[in-house]
Structure 1
Amino acid sequence: MTPQDCIQHFVTEHPIEAAKLLGGITVTAAPVAVAVPLLGALGFGAVGAAGGSLAATIQASIGPVAAKSLFAILQSAGAGGIGMAAVKTAILAAGGAMTAGPVHTLLQCLSSNDTAT
């Protein structure tokens, strides 16, 4: 089986794994492109928690925000601050985790056919 055959077989027989692989590659290739809309959807924006958002609801329920807390890190990231480094790292880790299983499955096919030319 050629490498192209392995890839075609992988995509056909494991469509969910193939989607995870594509998603993981996309996430790791552009973590900020994932982080900014995600933070915005949660309500972490440039000027604070957006009214009526999940972030605003959480902030109202926790009271004063502790420095270096998860909420503070997400708010910093939403505002484009130092917290973005932590968010990017978390996204990269998630992307790596998403790709681990699919890559293993694909490599099994490729390695079992390493004598094919």
Structure 2
Amino acid sequence: MGSYYKFLESSAPYSQGDVATMVSNMVFEAHTYCLSFDYHMYGSGMGTLKVQTQTGSENPVTLWMMSGNQGTKWHRLYRLAIPLDQNTKLLIKAIRGSSYLSDIAIDYVILSPYGCP
């Protein structure tokens, strides 16, 4: 894993359904990109991790989602093809589950400026 990671803390005062969202802040050239990252989702009250895109004020489109306890190890999302353009944002959302046992972490995020092999 890398030296730093992003983490959704699920202890009080947070409650079920609270969302932490990472939003891209760059303008993309119009083509398909390739996303990979590591994720850790361990706990009996685990929530959901989503990768979405959003264009303007439209509702986000979910491209990938994982829910529930995934065990005490890191997993890898490999090569998710994502079409982006100058009007589209990339969102990574962590949604708190039913209890404080629902911490979610992501690490080693790579967004390559070419399609997935």
| Greater share of strand | 2
Question: TM-score surpassing 0.5?
Answer: no
- Whose Rg is larger? 1
Highest relative contact order (Cα 8 Å, sep 6+), 1 or 2?
2
- TM-score, with normalisation over the residues of structure 2? 0.20
